[in-house]
Amino acid sequence: MNASCLDDELIARIARGLVPEAELSTADDHLDGCEVCRRVLASLVNEGAHDSRMVGERYELGALVGAGAHGLVWEARDVKLERRVAVKLMRHQSNAPLSEARLMARVSHPSVVQVFDVGDRFVAMEFVGGPTLRTWLAKQQPLAERLRVMREAGDALAAVHRSGLVHRDFKPDNVLIDASGRARVTDFGLAQTEGDGSVGGTPAYMAPEQLAGKAGDQKSDQYAFCVTLFEALAGKRPGKGELPSEISSSVQSVIERGLSKDPHARFASMDELLVTFNTPPRSRWPWFAALAAVLVLSISLAATLNSTTPTPELKPVAPPQPKSNAPPTEKKAAPTKALQLDRDFLEEEPLIETLPPAGSEIALAAGCVRSFKPPRATRVFIEDDFIVNVAGNADELQFIARTFGTTKVSLETNGKKRTWTVVVREPKEVAATRVQLKPEQTYSVETIGLHRLSIGDSSVVDVSSREGGTVTFQALKAGRTNALLWTNDAQRIEVVFEVAAPGPGVVQLEVGVQHVLKVEPFDKVRVKPEGRVSVEIVGYTEVLLLPREVGEGTLEFLDDDGKPVESRAFRVR
Amino acid sequence: MDELAFARSCVAGDAEAIARLDREFLSPLKNVFRSMHFDASASDELLQQVRERLLVAPARLETFRGTAPLSAWLRAVATRMALNARRDPFEAGRTGDAVLELVSVAGPAAEVRMLRLEHASTFAEVFREAFRSLSARERNALRLQCLDALTLEQIATIYSVNKATVSRWISSARESLEKRVRNSLVERVGLSGAELDSFIVALRSQLELASLLRTQSSVGALPHPDPSPRGRGE
Ligand SMILES: [Zn+2]
List, for residues B175-222, the tens digit of each pLDDT value: 898 899 889 988 887 877 777 777 776 677 665 677 777 765 443 333
The residue range of the domain holding B203 is 120-214
- A77 neighbourhood in chain B, CB within 8 Å: 90
Assess whether B101 and B127 both reside in one domain: no
Q: Determine, for residues A40 and B102 on separate chains, whether the beta-carbon distance falls below 8 Å.
A: no
Same domain, B164 and B195: yes
Per-residue confidence (pLDDT) for residue B224, from 0 to 100: 35
Q: End-to-end distance of chain B based on CA atoms, in angstroms?
A: 38
A4/B79 Cβ within 8 A: no
| pLDDT at position B79 | 93
Q: Is residue B180 part of a domain?
A: yes
B89 pLDDT more than 50: no
Q: Looking at the domain assignment, is residue B115 inside a domain?
A: no
Beta strands in A295-354 (DSSP E): 352-353
Compare A197 and B72 and report the one with higher pLDDT: B72
Confidence at residue A214, expressed as pLDDT on a 0 to 100 scale: 82
Domain check: are B124 and B170 in the same one?
A: yes
Q: Is residue B148 situated within a structural domain?
A: yes
Residue of higher predicted confidence among A175 and B2: A175
C-alpha–C-alpha distance, residues A464 and A472, integer Å: 6
What does the pLDDT read at residue A330? 33
Phi (first) and psi of residue A360, to 5 degrees: -85, 175
Question: What is the greatest pairwise CA distance in chain B?
Answer: 71
Give the model's pLDDT for residue A428: 78
- pLDDT < 50 positions in chain A: 1-3, 48-51, 193-198, 282-348
**Does a structural domain hold residue B222?**
no
Residues B146 and B202 in one domain: yes
B199 pairs with which residues across the strands?
none
Give the sign of the dihedral formed by CA A485, CA A489, CA A60, CA A132: negative
Q: Which residues of B touch A314 (CB under 8 A)?
A: 111-112, 115, 194-195, 198
Residues 134-163 of B with CB under 8 A from A: 136-137, 139-140, 143-144, 148-151, 153-154, 157-160
Cβ contact, residue pair B112, A14, below 8 Å: no
Q: Is residue B80 part of a domain?
A: yes
- What's B185's domain CATH number? 1.10.10
User: What is the model's pLDDT at position B35?
Assistant: 74
Beta bridge partner(s), residue A346:
none
B204 and B157, same structural domain?
Answer: yes
3-state class of A454 per DSSP?
A: strand
Q: Which amino acid is at A178?
A: D
Residue B215 CA to residue B221 CA, distance in Å, equals 10
Picking from B44, B76, B105, the residue at the C-terminal end of a domain is: B105
Which residues does B170 contact at the CB level (< 8 Å), separation at least 6? B138, B141, B142, B145, B152
**Beta-carbon separation of B220 and A35 below 8 A:** yes
Q: What is the pLDDT of residues B10-42, one digit of tens each?
A: 999 999 999 999 988 898 888 788 777 777 788
Indicate if B71 and B20 belong to the same structural domain.
yes
Q: What is the mean pLDDT of chain B?
A: 76
Whether the Cβ atoms of residue A478 and residue A500 lie closer than 8 Å to each other: yes
CA atoms within 13 A on the CB side of A55: 32
Q: Is residue B100 part of a domain?
A: yes
Instruction: Looking at the structure, tell me whether residues B30 and B97 fall in a common domain.
Output: yes
pLDDT score of B215: 65
Q: Residues B97, B167: one domain?
A: no
Q: How far apart are CA A202 and CA A520, in angstroms?
A: 49
Nearby residues of B16 by Cβ (< 8 Å), 6 or more positions away: none
ipTM of this predicted structure: 0.84
Share of chain B above pLDDT 70, in %: 74
Boundary of a domain, candidates B80, B105, B130:
B105
Same domain, B72 and B137: no
Q: pLDDT value at position A390?
A: 76
Q: What is the pLDDT of residue A114?
A: 86
Q: Is pLDDT at B117 greater than 80 in this prediction?
A: no
Nearest to B196 by CA among B183, B214, B213: B183
- Assess if residue B89 is contained within a domain: yes
Q: Which of A485-494, B52-61, B150-159, B216-225 has the highest mean pLDDT?
A: B52-61
Taking the whole predicted model, whether its pTM rises above 0.80 is answered as no
Asked whether residue B113 is domain-assigned, the answer is no
Q: State the Cα–Cα distance between residues A280 and A388, nearest whole angstrom.
A: 53
Predicted local distance difference test score (pLDDT) of residue A87: 86
Instruction: Closest CB to A47: pick one of B64, B75, B118.
Output: B75
Do B11 and B47 share a domain, yes or no?
A: yes
Task: Provide the strand spans (E) within A280-368.
Answer: 352-353, 361-365
pLDDT at A95: 58
Q: Could you tell me which residues come within 8 angstroms of residue A298 by beta carbon, excluding any fewer than 6 positions away?
A: none
Where is average pLDDT lowest: A85-94, A291-300, B71-80, B224-233? B224-233
Same domain membership, residue B18 and residue B100: yes
Kindly state whether residues B88 and B139 are assigned to the same domain: no
Number of Cβ atoms within 10 Å of the Cβ of A530 = 9
- Which residues from B are below 8 Å from A5, CB to CB? 80
> How many domains does one find in chain B?
2
Distance CA A63, CA B211 (A): 10
SS3 A214: coil
